[in-house]
Amino acid sequence: MSAQNSIIKIESVTKQFGAFKAINNVSLDIERGSFTTLLGPSGCGKTTLMRLIAGFHEPDSGSIYIEGNKVNGTPVYKRNTPLVFQEYALFPHMTVFENIAYGLKLKRIPSNEIKEKVGTMLDMFGLQGMEHRYPKQMSGGQQQRVAFARALIIGQNILLMDEPLSNLDAKMRVEVRNDIREMQQRAGITAIFVTHDQDEALSLSDRIAVFNKGTIYQVGTPWEVYFKPNNKFVADFVGVANFVDGEVVGVESQDYMVKCADIAIKVDKTGYSAKLGDKVTLVIRPECISVLPREGSYGSSDNVWSGYITRSSFLGRMIRYWAEAGSMQWIIDDSSPSVRGYLEGQIDLVVDKKKIHMLIGEQS
């Protein structure tokens, strides 16, 4: 990323609270106009970094730059980085119109201009006709839209969001997150979003920074983080995966042969530099495994094993199976349940060698 495209730059930032190191030497560039998600479990440091950017905390060491200017020591109100919290923080005694217009009134914007800008926000967030309602008269999703409108109306081009959807039910979360992404792209703002929800991160983001124990384990596109994780923590936290420990016992022109317990697995060599004898962990996503009724023979096909379904779970868009093949346990997602229905008993498992990700030198 070029310096010209970076709107927020975090350089070697560390933050401690007493003996607890919440952020440990973190560096991150946020690209202008991008949607970046800080993803990780509770207590990993993602919210602390968000508050450091906003100015609610100051780093013990390191620097934070916004629009090329170092903002260490700059108060919150001078950073132009509005932060939307999960609690909405709407004024209960003010109407929707008054809540959205609050920042403009503090800036003494003329009333006719306020009316025009609030009208634009009402249209943008689907709040037309609700301007005279009070927060208690609105659903959680509607209140969240008001909070976004109030944050954006002042015209900043950066928006910080700290788990803003956590108080919504599952269906409303999907609806509002779609609204957020559409709004962000239409307005061209730079958005930074904190969540521990992997689905939110994958569906919303241009880039994801995966946190754990105060450090960033990986920064990448949703595809890279999901299919090409840097380590086992990222693979395990972002989605579901089968982890298979093994040793490289063969190096062919296009493939590795990896011995894993009582089976051998072929892995496409592209992008890897393993050597004979290397200890590896294979990451195989459940949707990358095909499960088929027992048919007896697949000729010369690679990575085909006989197995047995031990249990299953219907999840609407897919059926998740748990199966045994040899001494190994597998999780398999069948994305076509409406076509085939449930499978039971003896089955065959087929894994495409190009859909296996290999972590070299990492074992469970």
Q: Take residue 309 and report the two structure tokens written for it.
A: 């379904």
Last residue of a domain, one of 216, 237, 258: 237
With beta carbons less than 8 A apart as the criterion, state whether 222 and 208 touch: yes
Average pLDDT, the chain: 90
Domain co-membership, 254 together with 343: yes
Domain co-membership, 188 together with 305: no
Domain co-membership, 112 together with 49: yes
Eight-state DSSP code of residue 354: G
CATH number at residue 171: 3.40.50.300
- Overall number of domains in the chain: 2
Q: Take residue 219 and report the two structure tokens written for it.
A: 């920064």
Per-residue pLDDT tens digits for 118-168? 998 898 888 999 999 999 999 888 888 898 888 888 767 899 999 888 877
Residues 300, 305, 309, CA angle at the centre, nearest 5°?
Answer: 150
Question: pLDDT class for 236, splitting at 50, 70, 90?
Answer: very high
CATH number at residue 258: 2.40.50.100
Domain co-membership, 274 together with 352: yes
How many H-runs (helices) and E-runs (strands) does the chain carry? 9, 20
The reported pTM is 0.88
**Quick one: pLDDT at residue 346?**
92
CB atoms within 10 A of CB 39: 29
Q: Give the least confident one: 178-182, 202-206, 241-245, 275-279.
A: 178-182
Domain co-membership, 265 together with 150: no
Owning domain of residue 63:
6-237
In the chain, the largest separation of any two C-alpha atoms, in whole Å, equals 78
Per-residue pLDDT tens digits for 8-19? 999 999 999 999
Residue 1 falls inside a structural domain: no
* Residues in a beta bridge with 322: 311, 331
Residue 228 falls inside a structural domain: yes
With beta carbons less than 8 A apart as the criterion, state whether 92 and 135 touch: yes
Which segment, 83-87, 213-217, 259-263, is predicted with the most confidence on average?
213-217
Domain co-membership, 158 together with 285: no
Domain co-membership, 120 together with 252: no
Per-residue pLDDT tens digits for 272-295? 999 999 999 999 999 999 988 876
Last residue of a domain, one of 212, 237, 262: 237
Distance CA 58, CA 15 (A): 8
CB atoms within 10 A of CB 290: 16
Mean pLDDT of 313-321: 90
Residues 117, 176, 333, CA angle at the centre, nearest 5°?
Answer: 155
**Quick one: pLDDT at residue 283?**
97
Q: HEC states along 131-142?
A: CCCCHHHCCHHH
Domain co-membership, 61 together with 123: yes
Distance CA 83, CA 314 (A): 39
Q: Which amino acid is residue 123, in one-letter code?
A: D
Question: pLDDT class for 363, splitting at 50, 70, 90?
Answer: low
**Quick one: pLDDT at residue 74?**
95
Q: Which of 114, 133, 120 is nearest to 183 (CA)?
A: 120
Last residue of a domain, one of 237, 270, 290: 237
With beta carbons less than 8 A apart as the criterion, state whether 62 and 11 touch: yes
Domain co-membership, 155 together with 125: yes
CB atoms within 10 A of CB 327: 9
Mean pLDDT of 293-303: 66
Domain co-membership, 205 together with 265: no
Distance CA 194, CA 19 (A): 24
Domain co-membership, 116 together with 233: yes
Position with higher pLDDT, 218 vs 152: 218
**Backbone phi, psi, residue 206, to 5°:** -85, -40
pLDDT above 90: percentage of residues in the chain: 66
**Quick one: pLDDT at residue 49?**
97
Helices of type H across 86-221: 96-106, 111-124, 140-152, 170-187, 198-204
Domain co-membership, 351 together with 221: no
CA atoms within 13 A on the CB side of 164: 32
